[in-house]
């Protein structure tokens, strides 16, 4: 096994284990901490795929900013293991069946997927660097890039409308 | 392109108007002017496209395609918005103190409408759907003192973001399944040889997400709560303009039939359509509140609109524009009347005919049109849908089922008419000015004109193009 493969398996196991722990933890704060581990593992995968910029942004934005917000909200609402509401048993079973079916479909789809000849470049390649990303973003994808500003503006106006005192 | 740019700019103008204009009437006038200008600019673009000149021409790298179908849909959406603002702009002011911001959000939604009617790339579909939905989450919860509205907004937001996540996952799968790695629908839509499981999963997720946005059957659970909880004017906007636009996105996605996957997705859509018709109509029968009944009836109408997706013919595209126009005209009208009533259950309509004959008469026409009675626009809308379906030569069972469901729908629409004409009710004050009544009558005339000459709309708009 090459180093890349070892890293890949390590990161995958870490990501899946942490993701399961996010759902399984009783304490919401522990869930958030496990979620940070998931983000780190995913960022590792991005680096393996030569998407260095994406990896860093993922860390800064998700593991940094968004997680801090999550922690704030959880602490402000004073949630802990005791206050977790009792869930209906049938609801749980229905959730397991629905989620399991989705998993089955995904496994079926990915098992036969013909992606083997499209492996990422390893060791060399600079496609994920900022300069290349910027060229792509401002050439081929400039229209969606600009139009997403309308999306953010509307979200900002919305936040102000909701937050303003009456 | 005119519509996308202008609606975004006018959204910003409305945003500033609430800061600089203290006079509410001025803000309202500004919003109505904006909607009228938007409509005019869109028709101008339709006309100019036929002459080969463009007011604004931007190289979108093929991400957006401004075709007649999309621009016709835009025209219907903007005309509905104009009508909606003329009816309900005053009601919007009563929702809360930030009326300028509400109008701004409405214009941002219109930008989303123009995007989803012209997208040519799944990325643009995603952004368009988001621009369409995010302002709606806010508008649903804009009445901050109303607990039901808050609950509706939160529910809508959580479920809506989840469905957007599913959509993004579906898009990623489709990207992975396409041999060249492309987001373009002309590339993905023609299909590439035998169908791969990856492709099927992607398409399924996309169907699920779009069904959520148009509130088709297994994904409709949010609709009654959100439509009931949101302030009435915004419910009217959501149920007409936004639903119509999401539908255009749906039909554009399937216009190229996805090659060999056609039989598979057609069966899925047929089942969704049947389930939507059944659940929408049957549940609507048992409602006590008219607002909730209209929410379920809007689900039932979606069942009919889904028939257009199954048929890949030109008549389906003409038909869906007519359907959206007919449905929007009637729904905006009935919601405008409903918004003026204090009691929004069936009892609220009791004896309306004696006290307010004009309101009762126009409501009757709106409800008849929704039920699809001849001489109203709703009849030909349903007729076109069924013809389009039958022309495919398949799905005869679905057509029969749809007609049966339409018959069921007559029951709950006529319950309101019966309450207005044949029941005694208490005297009630209704704030209906002469201008409001005249608008309602114009709306009724439009519905009847479309019911007698259904081709007028399509031809009048296409003549500009030809």
pLDDT tier, B163 (very low <50, low <70, confident <90, very high otherwise): very high
Q: A140: which chain B residues are within 8 Å (Cβ-Cβ)?
A: 61
- Cβ within 8 Å, pair B138-A161: yes
Task: Check pLDDT > 70 for residue A122.
Answer: no
Same domain, A105 and A139: no
pLDDT score at B78 = 94
pLDDT score at A67 = 87
Same domain, A77 and A152: no
Cα separation values, B341 from B37, B344, B349, B428, Å: 31, 6, 8, 8
A-B contacts at Cβ under 8 angstroms: 92
In this structure, what token pair is assigned to residue B241?
């303009």
At A48, which helix (H) or strand (E)?
helix A28-48
Same domain, A31 and A94: yes
Task: Check pLDDT > 90 for residue B10.
Answer: yes
Same domain, A92 and A38: yes
| Domain containing residue A58: CATH number | 1.20.120.1200
* Whole-number average pLDDT of chain B: 88
* Whole-number average pLDDT of chain A: 84
Task: Check pLDDT > 60 for residue A81.
Answer: no
Cα separation values, A143 from A157, B29, B127, Å: 22, 32, 11
Cα separation values, B387 from B100, B320, B383, Å: 44, 12, 6
CA atoms of B106 and B237, how far apart (whole Å): 9
Tens digits of residue pLDDT in A30-76: 888 999 999 999 999 988 888 888 899 999 998 888 888 888 888 88
CA atoms of B282 and B297, how far apart (whole Å): 10
Tens digits of residue pLDDT in A127-143: 778 888 888 889 889 99
Q: What is the ipTM of this complex?
A: 0.88
Tens digits of residue pLDDT in B64-78: 888 888 888 999 999
- Cβ within 8 Å, pair B102-A161: yes
pLDDT score at B345 = 83
Q: Which residues pair with B119 in a beta bridge?
A: B64
Q: What is the torsion angle, in degrees rounded to the nearest 10, for the CA atoms of residue B51, residue B55, residue B57 and residue B62?
A: -60
- Cβ within 8 Å, pair A150-B101: no
Mean pLDDT of B380-404: 90
Q: B115: which chain A residues are within 8 Å (Cβ-Cβ)?
A: 147
Mean pLDDT of A98-114: 84
Q: A112: which chain B residues are within 8 Å (Cβ-Cβ)?
A: 196-198
pLDDT score at B434 = 86
Q: What is the 3-state secondary structure (H, E, C) of chain B?
A: CHHHHHHHHHHHHHHHHHHHCCCHHHHHHHHHHHHHHHHHHHHHHHHHHHHCCCCCCCCCCCCECCCHHHHHHHHHHHHHHHHHHHHHHHHHHHHCCCHHHHHHHHHHHHHHHHHHCCECEHHHHHHHHHHHHHHHHHHHCCCCCCHHHHHHHHHHHHHHHHHHHHHHHHHHHHHHHCCCCCCEHHHHHCCCCCCCHHHHHHHHHHHHHHHHHHCCHHHCCHHHHHHHHCCHHHHHHHHHHHHHHHHHHHHHHCCCCCHHHHHHHHHHHHHHHHHHHHHHHHHHHCCCEHHHHHHHHHHHHHHHHHHHHHCCCHHHHHHHHHHHHHHHHHHHHHHHHHHHCCCCEHHHHCCHHHHCHHHHHHHHHHHHHHHCCCCCHHHHHHHHHHHHHHHCCCCHHHHHHHHHHHHHHHHHHHHHHHHHHHCCCCCCCCCCCHHHHHHHHHHHHHHHHHHHCCHHHHHHHHHHHC
pLDDT score at B104 = 93
Tens digits of residue pLDDT in B219-271: 999 999 999 999 999 999 999 999 999 999 999 888 877 777 888 889 999 99
Task: Check pLDDT > 90 for residue A151.
Answer: yes
Q: What is the DSSP letter of A117?
A: G
Mutation test of the interface with chain A: which of B17, B201, B219, choosing the one with the most A Cβ atoms within 10 A?
Answer: B201
Mutation test of the interface with chain A: which of B19, B95, B174, B176, choosing the one with the most A Cβ atoms within 10 A?
Answer: B176
pLDDT tier, A79 (very low <50, low <70, confident <90, very high otherwise): low
- Cβ of residue B60 closer than 8 Å to a chain A Cβ: yes
pLDDT score at A124 = 64
Q: B160: which chain A residues are within 8 Å (Cβ-Cβ)?
A: none
pLDDT score at B466 = 46
Q: B198: which chain A residues are within 8 Å (Cβ-Cβ)?
A: 109-110, 112-113
| Residue found by looking up tokens 């929408």 in the block | B280
Same domain, A120 and A141: no
- Cβ within 8 Å, pair B135-A158: yes
Tens digits of residue pLDDT in B151-160: 999 999 999 9
Task: Check pLDDT > 70 for residue A82.
Answer: no
Same domain, A140 and A101: no
pLDDT tier, B331 (very low <50, low <70, confident <90, very high otherwise): very high
Same domain, A72 and A153: no
Greater model confidence, A28 or B369: B369
Same domain, A116 and A133: no
Q: Does residue B433 lie in a domain region?
A: yes
Domain count, chain B: 1
Maximum mean pLDDT: which of A45-59, B108-122, B256-270, B413-427: B108-122
Question: What range defines the domain where residue A145 resides?
Answer: 129-166
pLDDT score at A150 = 93
In this complex, which of B131, B144, B196 lies closest to A154 when CB atoms are compared?
B131
Task: Check pLDDT > 70 for residue B436.
Answer: yes
Mutation test of the interface with chain B: which of A151, A152, A156, A163, choosing the one with the most B Cβ atoms within 10 A?
Answer: A151
pLDDT score at A121 = 62
In this complex, which of B4, B63, B101 lies closest to A161 when CB atoms are compared?
B101
- Cβ within 8 Å, pair A147-B137: no
pLDDT > 70 fraction of chain B, expressed in percent and rounded: 98
In this complex, which of A113, A140, A158 lies closest to B105 when CB atoms are compared?
A158
Task: Check pLDDT > 90 for residue A156.
Answer: yes
Question: What range defines the domain where residue B449 resides?
Answer: 259-466
- Cβ within 8 Å, pair A153-B12: yes
pLDDT score at A120 = 63
Chain B neighbours among A 60-119 (CB < 8 Å)? 105-106, 108-115
Neighbours of B201 (CB within 10 A): 23
Q: B197: which chain A residues are within 8 Å (Cβ-Cβ)?
A: 108-109, 111-113
Same domain, A95 and A48: yes
Domain count, chain A: 2
- Cβ within 8 Å, pair A114-B176: no
Task: Check pLDDT > 70 for residue A8.
Answer: yes
- Cβ of residue B416 closer than 8 Å to a chain A Cβ: no
pLDDT score at B176 = 83
Neighbours of A72 (CB within 10 A): 10
pTM for the whole thing?
A: 0.92
pLDDT score at A51 = 83
Q: Which residues pair with B73 in a beta bridge?
A: none
Same domain, A121 and A85: yes
Same domain, A33 and A85: yes
Q: B298, B227 in Cβ contact below 8 A?
A: yes
Same domain, A140 and A66: no
Task: Check pLDDT > 90 for residue B391.
Answer: no
Closest CA–CA distance from residue A63 to any residue of chain B (Å): 19
Mean pLDDT of B87-94: 88
Q: What is the b/e burial string over B220-251, where b = at least 16 CB atoms within 10 angstroms of the residue's CB?
A: bebbbbbbbbbbbbbbbbbbbbbbbbbbbbbb
- Cβ of residue A127 closer than 8 Å to a chain B Cβ: no
Tens digits of residue pLDDT in B45-55: 887 777 777 77
Give every CB contact of residue B336 below 8 A, 6+ residues apart in sequence.
B87, B88, B236, B436, B440
- Cβ within 8 Å, pair B105-A109: no
In this structure, what token pair is assigned to residue B174?
């489709």
pLDDT tier, A155 (very low <50, low <70, confident <90, very high otherwise): very high
Q: A141, A65 in Cβ contact below 8 A?
A: no
pLDDT score at B32 = 93
Q: B129, B116 in Cβ contact below 8 A?
A: yes
Mean pLDDT of B106-115: 94
pLDDT score at B96 = 81
- Cβ within 8 Å, pair B197-A109: yes
């Amino acid at each position: 096994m090459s180093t890349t493969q070892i890293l890949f398996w390590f990161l995958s196991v870490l990501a899946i284990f942490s993701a399961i722990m996010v759902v399984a933890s009783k304490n919401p704060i522990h869930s958030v901490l496990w979620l940070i581990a998931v983000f780190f593992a995913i960022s590792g995968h991005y680096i393996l795929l030569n998407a260095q910029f994406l990896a860093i942004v993922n860390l800064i934005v998700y593991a940094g900013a968004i997680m801090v917000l999550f922690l704030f909200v959880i602490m402000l609402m004073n949630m802990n293991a005791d206050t977790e509401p009792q869930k209906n048993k049938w609801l749980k079973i229905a959730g397991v069946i629905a989620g399991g079916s989705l998993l089955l479909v995904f496994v079926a789809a990915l098992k036969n997927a013909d992606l083997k000849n499209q492996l990422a470049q390893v060791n060399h390649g600079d496609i994920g660097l900022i300069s290349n990303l910027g060229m792509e973003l401002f050439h081929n994808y400039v229209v969606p890039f600009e139009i997403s500003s309308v999306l953010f503006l509307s979200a900002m106006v919305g936040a102000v409308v909701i937050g303003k005192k009456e | 392109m005119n519509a996308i740019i202008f609606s975004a700019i006018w959204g910003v103008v409305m945003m500033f108007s609430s800061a600089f204009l203290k006079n509410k009437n001025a803000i309202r006038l500004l919003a109505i002017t904006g909607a009228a200008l938007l409509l005019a600019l869109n028709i101008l673009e339709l006309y100019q496209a036929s002459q080969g000149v463009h007011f604004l021409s931007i190289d979108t790298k093929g991400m957006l395609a401004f075709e007649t179908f999309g621009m016709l849909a835009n025209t219907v959406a903007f005309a509905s918005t104009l009508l909606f603002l003329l009816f309900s702009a005053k009601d919007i002011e009563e929702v809360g103190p930030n009326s300028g911001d509400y109008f701004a959000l409405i214009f941002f939604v219109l930008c989303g409408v123009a995007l989803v009617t012209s997208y040519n790339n799944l990325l643009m579909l995603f952004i368009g759907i988001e621009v369409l939905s995010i302002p709606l989450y806010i508008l649903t919860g804009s009445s901050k003192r109303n607990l039901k509205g808050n609950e509706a907004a939160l529910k809508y937001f959580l479920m809506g973001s989840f469905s957007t996540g599913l959509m993004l996952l579906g898009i990623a799968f489709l990207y992975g399944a396409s041999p060249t790695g492309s987001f373009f629908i002309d590339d993905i839509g023609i299909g590439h040889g035998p169908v791969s499981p990856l492709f099927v999963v992607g398409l399924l997720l996309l169907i699920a997400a779009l069904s959520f946005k148009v509130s088709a059957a297994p994904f409709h659970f949010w609709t009654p709560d959100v439509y009931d909880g949101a302030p009435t004017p915004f419910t009217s906007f959501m149920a007409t303009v936004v639903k119509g636009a999401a539908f255009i996105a749906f039909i554009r996605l399937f216009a190229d039939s996805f090659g060999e996957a056609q039989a598979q997705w057609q069966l899925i859509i047929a089942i969704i359509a049947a389930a939507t018709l059944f659940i929408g109509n049957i549940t609507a029968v048992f409602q006590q509140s008219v607002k909730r009944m209209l929410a379920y009836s809007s689900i039932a109408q979606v069942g009919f609109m889904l028939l257009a997706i199954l048929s890949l013919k030109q008549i389906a595209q003409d038909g869906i524009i007519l359907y959206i126009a007919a449905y929007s005209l009637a729904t905006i009208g009935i919601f405008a009347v409903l918004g003026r009533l204090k009691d929004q259950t069936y009892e609220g309509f009791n004896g309306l005919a004696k006290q307010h004959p004009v309101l009762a008469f126009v409501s009757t026409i709106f409800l008849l049109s929704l039920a699809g009675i001849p001489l109203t626009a709703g009849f030909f809308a349903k007729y076109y849908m069924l013809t389009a379906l039958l022309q495919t030569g398949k799905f005869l069972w679905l057509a029969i089922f749809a007609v049966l469901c339409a018959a069921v729908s007559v029951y709950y629409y006529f319950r309101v008419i019966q309450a207005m004409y044949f029941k005694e009710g208490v005297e009630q004050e209704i704030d209906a000015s002469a201008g409001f009544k005249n608008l309602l009558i114009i709306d009724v005339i439009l519905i009847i004109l479309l019911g007698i000459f259904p081709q007028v709309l399509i031809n009048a708009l296409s003549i500009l193009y030809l």
